[in-house]
Amino acid sequence: MKIDNKHADESVPQSVTEFIKLQTGQESIQIGFTDQKVSGYGGLSAFAGFLHWHRLPQRLAEWMGPGPKSGRAIPYADVALGFCTAILAGAEKLAQVAYLRRDVLLPSLLAIKRVGSQSTLTGYFQHFQGAAQNLRTFRPMWRWCQDRLAPRPGGYTLDLDSTQLLHEEGHQEGVRTWHTPRGLKRCLHPLLAVMAEAKLVAGFWLRAGHAISDNNVVAFTLDLLDQLPRQVRLRLVRADSGFCHEEWLRLLEVQGLDYIVVARLLRPIQRLLKRETIWQGTEVPGTEVAEVMHEEKGWSTARRLVLIRHRIEEKERPTGKRLLDCPGYAYEALVTHVAETVRPIELWRDYNGRAGSENVIKDLDEYFAIPKLCLKKFWSTEAALSLAVLTYNLCVLFQRHVGWQERVRAGTLRFRLFTTGGILSKTGGVTTVRLSVPESERAWWRALFENIISPFPNCNSVSLWPG
């Protein structure tokens, strides 16, 4: 590279005083500098319009409280909104969130004082010091997200799950060594619930790494049911074998909720598989089913148990567990409170829909910094993770607001939409953002903004992408 101080170019702003000559193959490109207020995140103006349409900044102010009284201090709602937007833009750590302080556009778009520095962010999360405070702050957020859901004639499916967040080098509160898919590792073990049809997180609680899967699940479920909006009716609850315990199953039954839960293939159920069980063929090649009433040790009553076996030689990727005493098959078992009129194979298919909620966890891991955010104090970490999960929900609700039927992953939104460049200026005393968009795509952007700012959601049709 060579710096050229001698030549001027009338086509560039006067603030450019020198060039760097960059040789690219046969051509030399001049690199200069400008004082124009240019942002790499002009496309976030669409997301900001969605936030303001739903009055989320005002809601955050109600949930968070005012924050420090110092005149220079950033209100808590501004800190939270800047944090969420930075996570959506791709930040994974507090230092990366703070880096967006240099962006000239975000404070104007979000109507906040400024994006918080790393010390401001750390201090903000440190003020979360206990379960009661976190619940007071974040329960209204989960309720607000669910309030955005429309009624469904068939009702919604609630999936409960847990995930393990590895922090092998850390010594933060709550990080403990426990069994993970990668062996004994130091981790955190949060609990979350997902509205399957909407791919929306309905609740999130952080737990220490050594917590077993069903730890605190009864209290978590009661909290979920307590904050369900009136229009959200549950048709079914699903969970894996870690939640197959008497106290929780009994709670669902008392609440009148149907459920499908994976049963643990312990010896009593293995004996059922080995006996002369009457297996019935199904329309699924290589899959047979059976059902019995079964009372596991510790249960208060017998429950409907659906058994499934898959002939391994007929399956490309057989699900289930293989047993040494029953070669040639992989087995699954589901305990359910669904009416006996529903066929076993339909129950199995219904449970398999839970894979969509597992994809929600993958999205949280890959695009919303869930594995990376870990602060010194346990309740601070839960607060940071809760805001990251809220950001995921906002991303989902943004797409529902503009009427996209096909859900787009956050990585695609960042690449195609949010990282569109923009220039901030004043035009006639009005703050103006000019997006760097090819002329052929501007009609699509206009339609998108018309959809977002319309008083009636989804009244304007807009395609998924330009062209």
**Beta strands 259-262 and 326-336: pairing type?**
antiparallel
- The candidate with the shortest Cα–Cα distance to 106, out of 89, 120, 130, is 89
- The tokens describing 299, both together, are 């249960």
- The candidate with the shortest Cα–Cα distance to 60, out of 80, 44, 46, is 80
pLDDT over 80 at 10, yes or no: no
**Residue 393 main-chain phi, psi, to 5 deg:** -60, -40
- Give the mean pLDDT of 197-216: 95
Helical (H) or strand (E) element with 211: none
Q: Pick the range with the lowest mean pLDDT from 7-11, 370-374, 448-452.
A: 7-11
In total, the chain counts a number of residues equal to 467
Position 9 scores a pLDDT of 43
pLDDT tens string 110-131 = 999 999 999 999 999 999 999 9
pLDDT over 70 at 57, yes or no: yes
Position 417 scores a pLDDT of 94
pTM of the full structure: 0.92
Nearest 10 degrees: Cα torsion 27, 30, 31, 35: -150
- Give the mean pLDDT of 380-395: 98
pLDDT tens string 368-380 = 999 999 999 999 9
- Give the mean pLDDT of 376-405: 95
pLDDT tens string 71-88 = 789 999 999 999 999 999
Cα 193 → chain centroid: 11
Q: How many helices and strands in the chain, by DSSP H and E? A: 15, 19
182 neighbors 194 (Cβ within 8 angstroms): no
- Give the mean pLDDT of 291-301: 93
- Give the mean pLDDT of 298-302: 94
**Strands (DSSP E) found in 286-384:** 287-294, 303-311, 321-323, 326-336
3-state SS class at 26:
coil
378 neighbors 167 (Cβ within 8 angstroms): no
Arithmetic mean of pLDDT over the chain:
91
Sheet holding 430-435, edge to edge: 37-39, 422-427, 430-435
Cα 403 → chain centroid: 19
Q: How confident is the model at residue 6 (pLDDT cuts 50, 70, 90)?
A: very low
Task: Return the domain boundaries, the chain.
Answer: 2-35, 246-352
- The candidate with the shortest Cα–Cα distance to 188, out of 363, 386, 359, is 386
Query: Which residue, chain included where needed, has tokens 């601070």?
Result: 380
pLDDT over 90 at 275, yes or no: no
Position 317 scores a pLDDT of 76
211 neighbors 189 (Cβ within 8 angstroms): yes
Position 11 scores a pLDDT of 42
- How far is 328 from 54, CA to CA, in rounded Å? 55
- How far is 211 from 338, CA to CA, in rounded Å? 29
Angle at 230 between CA 220 and CA 50, to 5 degrees: 90
pLDDT over 60 at 449, yes or no: yes
59 neighbors 37 (Cβ within 8 angstroms): no
Position 458 scores a pLDDT of 60
pLDDT over 50 at 337, yes or no: yes
pLDDT tens string 342-367 = 999 999 999 999 988 899 999 999 99
285 neighbors 310 (Cβ within 8 angstroms): no
- How far is 239 from 245, CA to CA, in rounded Å? 11
Position 322 scores a pLDDT of 85
pLDDT tens string 12-38 = 444 545 889 898 888 889 998 888 999
pLDDT over 50 at 2, yes or no: no
292 neighbors 307 (Cβ within 8 angstroms): yes
- How far is 403 from 463, CA to CA, in rounded Å? 9
